[in-house]
Amino acid sequence: METPAAAAPAGSLFPSFLLLACGTLVAALLGAAHRLGLFYQLLHKVDKASVRHGGENVAAVLRAHGVRFIFTLVGGHISPLLVACEKLGIRVVDTRHEVTAVFAADAMARLSGTVGVAAVTAGPGLTNTVTAVKNAQMAQSPVLLLGGAASTLLQNRGALQAIDQLSLFRPLCKFCASVRRVRDIVPTLRAAMAAAQSGTPGPVFVELPIDVLYPYFMVQKEMVPAKPRKGLVGRVVSWYLENYLANLFAGAWEPQPEGPLPLDIPQASLQQVQRCVEILSRAKRPLMVLGSQALLTPKSADKLRAAVETLGVPCFLGGMARGLLGRNHPLHIRENRSAALKKADVIVLAGTVCDFRLSYGRVLSHSSKIIIVNRNREDMLLNSDVFWKPQEAVQGDVGSFVLKLVEGLQGQTWAPDWVEELREADRQKEQTFREKAAMPVAQHLNPVRVLQLVEETLPDNSILVVDGGDFVGTAAHLVQPRGPLRWLDPGAFGTLGVGAGFALGAKLCRPDAEVWCLFGDGAFGYSLIEFDTFVRHKIPVMALVGNDAGWTQISREQVPSLGSNVACGLAYSDYHKAAMGLGARGLLLSRENEDQVVKVLHDAQQQCRDSHPVVVNILIGRTDFRDGSIAV
């Protein structure tokens, strides 16, 4: 039999349980109220009569960040932001494929120093951009991708073109966000723009569901039934939808800061710079390899060029650093890089990565002292645990590091015989090129000779866009950009298809430049349709298509190693006529007019000056110029 003392605690549990239950209920109600924005709505207005829309907020932020162009392929999900951009004076440039829009934004970012912006519609519009976004990530280009999406209320409910877009882009982008309320557009975009340019630059993605872009009255019409269901459930659903809608637009038009946030760019410490100064000051055979990161701040290109000239160290230039010293500069060494790296006693890798391009670091001599500087620590130390070791590894901005290094080495000189030794090797290689240019080919034109003539014709105000395999690989040895930021290639990803987008971005960014595109015939297949874009938007660019009727870079290895040319053959197609069908101008170069190569190039230049995009279809034969080059 229980005693009264034992029964007392059981009786006291009921008030405690009741208190816990009430507390849980209150917490749940408060959480629901917070999610619905009920508290926010008490303090912030919902302007139901306004015809403004979220696209205006997007355009305002872009304008405040100095964006002058937005590249797109139109879709209903993103129409408001495109219309708003047009009203604010941001030029809307529509392409024939979404991937071209992102490539154009990439080129704009590389040449301007601002974030390049592309906007595409939901679902397949976004999936079409994946290759270009990955290319921007590997090239470290600050690109903002704006993507449409299904209504916030209908996501995960089978809406048109609704997929999990954030999961798709998180591995590719530094910053991914989905805007859930109109008032969040401005702060989200400001954070995205800052993330794109801070640290190691790269692409960012902001998803803009359709209900945060369109006006209140249009969203209300789609979201809230005109005749609510009867009964308790109907009233609850109607109340929920009304509050959901109010939360979407509460505080939407209240003033917010729209301008750029501060950027976080790593800098080398004075102690690190001083240690590098001491290492380099003792060098007898110094060598510098400059990569794309050196030109991440385009406005500093002239200062960087002057610093490299003052330093007096021979250098190799790769990626966006090509052309930094102009044409035929005595410090610019172009050939026999592996041999030079083996001979150097101090090597400065400035924005260069020890990936496949430097044979994973195996081309570096173990007796060399290596200084490496890079904004990205992982890239900086790539393969250093296997094939090479840095004497000094500096995580920081490459351009500013070089300027500080030169300042610390003022008055330092090196014996001229080292530079002369490297230049003599260049001269021997150039003589080999001249001999190959004179060799006859079985049919059509010798591509080496054609590219030599291109080099002789190329004007000082040109920008070179290169997109291809064998033809472009040959051009990399023969055609020199005339100055800083006048060479655009895909970068480490080796992407075919960048040509039209890069040309589009380059010409809009530098309207006074002549944009010369060097295409392989295989790669040109990706870009041909965009000559419709060039014609419609009156963007005159010049495409030189090295047409050897095949994927020659692949067949060079495939045929001797596997004994078959399967899938490597193309046709000597009339690409110039196809371009004419799109409204562009077309010219043909073949053996029949091989003595008029320079004249045809001048004719193409004149057509561009008359505001016509031009395709020069150059029928070329096969040479052994690139035998042994890698394709994998």
List the domains of the chain with CATH numbers: 54-249 (3.40.50.970), 270-421 (3.40.50.1220), 439-619 (3.40.50.970)
Strand, coil or helix: what is 515?
strand
pLDDT along the chain (632 residues), means of 10: 49 66 67 65 77 97 98 96 98 98 98 96 97 98 97 83 92 97 97 98 98 94 82 82 90 94 96 96 96 92 95 95 94 94 96 94 94 96 94 96 94 91 93 91 94 97 96 94 96 95 98 97 97 98 97 92 95 97 98 94 97 97 77 60
The one-letter amino acid at 381: L
DSSP-assigned states of every residue in 64-121: HTT--EEEEE--GGGHHHHHHHHHTTPEEEE-SSHHHHHHHHHHHHHHHSSPEEEEE-
Q: Look at residue 229 in the predicted model and tell me its pLDDT.
A: 79
Contact 289, 316 (CB under 8 A): yes
Q: Look at residue 2 in the predicted model and tell me its pLDDT.
A: 46
Contact 248, 222 (CB under 8 A): no
Q: Interhelix angle for 398-408 vs 301-311, to 10°?
A: 40
Q: Give the H/E segment covering residue 602.
A: helix 597-609
Q: Look at residue 4 in the predicted model and tell me its pLDDT.
A: 47
Q: Which two tokens stand for residue 84?
A: 């708003």
Burial of residue 145 (number of CB atoms within 10 Å: 0-12, 13-18, 19+): buried
Give the integer Cα–Cα distance in Å for 167 and 135: 18
- Candidates 542, 545, 543, 565; CA nearest to 555 is 565
Q: Look at residue 287 in the predicted model and tell me its pLDDT.
A: 97
Q: Look at residue 395 in the predicted model and tell me its pLDDT.
A: 97
- Candidates 422, 424, 403; CA nearest to 414 is 422
- Candidates 465, 472, 481, 482; CA nearest to 447 is 472
